[in-house]
């Protein structure tokens, strides 16, 4: 009899252990439709301003729970601007087991650390299905180069060969099998990014205006002066608690596919905005569709459903385009928003100030004045309250703006040793304004006239 009781106890223990591994079913009737503005307000408890950045980052992390609609983000901005704070703070809303945060990591170390060695395959299996991968303050993009096929969603299983040093045999080749599509967020202080990586990411930069910095400081004071009270206040917030429950419930639903009910509306709005098409638009439309699907996933209980498939509606399309319209201009130019805003707030402003009071015969002779690098550095200090390193301006910012077609560089006609910078405006930028071929919207002069005036100046000199 005691033997039977012993076996019964063992069986009950095993049942209890199995029950612990089964997630508790969440009551989905407590949820209501959640708009982007309501989501921004909840995220705003800890992340001040940065409305588009925080909602895109949230949707990126949520997209991990789709089958193949994950998208990737790259935060490019100078140090101490909060580029890693946004993704890590939002990641606290998600289950810990789904988030992988990595500081500095070499390509080889990544595969060894994340991967699991399998004898039968004679290599490492790296399963990133439904994972959120956050790279914090990475100094280079070598690891991204290895992950390019994965970031592009070329195949769900990809075999890589890496080399590794061993004490006995020197360099040795190892096999790595990458499986699944993660949602990837890459944070770096390096402003320059390879074009092949740029087209695989949405490029974002935290806001650095005075009001955002002021609010961030006030929040820091509130948090650091009494950490326990701050955490209690945060964790007891009903909207935040409900959002965390919502994320867990979305994960449990295990949605396999998200369809879109009105693809013709996407086509109409996208082609209306993009008159001049670029190769990268074929990837941009994929990211836009991923945003639409992520909005649908956020409200899956209020969408048409067929088993593990839900259907995104017109409201999801509208919300996604609202976000896309706010960031699309810098994306089209392959520029982080920090660089794009610097062009408008620093370079264009300084150039206009330098030329706005010049008129008459003198202007006709000399043409428009270009900017020196020192002009840009000084204006940057006036706008942002800090000096930009000369090497960063020369090696990163100016080449990126020149590649994007927003500026040209020419020798100073009075001193060939100096290089002057002139802003331009490419035709392909998606705005409702009417631009002339090169300088429309910036100046009343065209490029031919500038060159002609410079020739006059040289002759007079």
In the DSSP assignment, the letter for residue 1 is -
Q: In terms of pLDDT, which residue wins out, 10 or 406? A: 406
pLDDT tens-digit readout, 300-348: 999 999 999 999 999 999 999 999 999 988 888 888 999 999 999 999 9
| CATH number assigned to the domain covering 25-104+117-140+183-329 | 3.40.50.300
Residue 99: beta bridge partners? 132
Give the closest residue to 54 by CA, choosing from 204, 246, 184, 200: 204
Max avg pLDDT among 25-39, 52-66, 354-368? 52-66
Q: What is the pLDDT of residue 358?
A: 63
What pLDDT band is residue 409 in, cutting at 50, 70 and 90?
very high
3-state secondary structure string, 145-198? HHHHHHHCCCCCEEEEEEEEEECCCEEEEEEEEEECCCEEEEEECCCCCCHHHH
Q: Is the backbone of residue 136 left (phi > 0), alpha (psi -120 to 50) or beta?
A: beta
What pLDDT band is residue 146 in, cutting at 50, 70 and 90?
confident
What pLDDT band is residue 23 in, cutting at 50, 70 and 90?
low
Q: How many percent of the chain have pLDDT more than 70?
A: 80
pTM recorded for the entire structure: 0.81
pLDDT tens-digit readout, 73-96: 999 888 778 888 999 999 999 999
Task: Please check whether residue 230 is in contact with residue 223, taking contact to mean a CB–CB distance below 8 angstroms.
Answer: yes
In the chain, which segments carry CATH 3.40.50.300?
25-104+117-140+183-329
Q: In terms of pLDDT, which residue wins out, 70 or 106? A: 70
Residues in the chain: 461
Q: What is the pLDDT of residue 387?
A: 87
What pLDDT band is residue 168 in, cutting at 50, 70 and 90?
low
What pLDDT band is residue 144 in, cutting at 50, 70 and 90?
confident
């Amino acid at each position: 009899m005691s033997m039977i009781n012993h076996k019964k106890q063992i069986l009950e223990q095993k049942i209890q252990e199995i029950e612990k591994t089964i997630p508790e079913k969440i009551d989905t009737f407590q949820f209501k439709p959640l708009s982007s503005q309501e989501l921004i307000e909840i995220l705003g408890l800890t992340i001040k301003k940065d409305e588009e950045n925080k909602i895109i980052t949230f949707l990126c992390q949520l997209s991990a729970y789709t089958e193949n609609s994950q998208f990737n983000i790259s935060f490019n901005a100078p140090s101490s601007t909060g580029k890693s704070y946004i993704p890590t703070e939002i990641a606290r809303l998600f289950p810990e087991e789904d988030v992988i945060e990595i500081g500095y990591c070499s390509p080889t170390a990544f595969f060894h650390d994340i991967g699991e060695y399998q004898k039968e395959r004679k290599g490492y299996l790296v399963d990133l299905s439904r994972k959120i991968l956050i790279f914090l303050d990475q100094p280079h993009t070598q690891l991204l180069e290895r992950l390019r096929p994965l970031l592009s969603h070329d195949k769900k299983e990809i075999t890589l060969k890496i080399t590794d040093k061993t004490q006995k045999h020197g360099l040795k080749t190892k096999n790595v099998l990458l499986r699944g599509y993660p949602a990837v967020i890459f944070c770096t202080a390096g402003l320059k990014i390879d074009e092949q990586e740029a087209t695989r990411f949405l490029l974002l930069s935290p806001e650095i205006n005075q009001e955002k910095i002021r609010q961030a400081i006030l929040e820091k004071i509130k948090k650091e002066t009494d950490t326990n009270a701050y955490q209690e206040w945060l964790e007891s917030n009903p909207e935040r608690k409900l959002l965390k429950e919502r994320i867990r419930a979305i994960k449990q639903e295990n949605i396999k596919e998200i369809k879109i009910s009105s693809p013709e509306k996407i086509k109409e709005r996208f082609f209306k905005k993009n008159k001049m098409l670029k190769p990268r638009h074929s990837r941009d439309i994929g990211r836009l569709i991923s945003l639409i699907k992520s909005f649908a996933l956020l409200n899956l209980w209020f969408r048409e459903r067929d088993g593990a498939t839900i259907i995104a509606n017109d409201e999801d399309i509208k919300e996604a385009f609202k976000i896309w319209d706010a960031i699309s201009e810098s994306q089209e130019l392959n520029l982080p928003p920090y660089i794009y805003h610097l062009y408008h707030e620093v370079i264009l402003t300084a150039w206009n100030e330098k030329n706005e009071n010049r008129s008459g015969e003198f202007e006709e002779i000399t043409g428009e004045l270009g900017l020196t690098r020192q002009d840009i550095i000084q204006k940057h200090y006036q706008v942002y309250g800090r000096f930009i390193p000369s090497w960063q301006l020369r090696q990163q910012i100016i080449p990126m703006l020149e590649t994007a077609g927003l500026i040209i560089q020419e020798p100073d006609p009075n001193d060939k040793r100096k290089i002057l910078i002139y802003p331009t405006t490419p035709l392909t930028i998606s705005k409702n304004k009417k631009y002339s071929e090169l300088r429309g919207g910036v100046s009343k002069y065209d490029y031919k006239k500038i060159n002609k005036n410079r020739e006059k100046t040289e002759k007079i000199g």
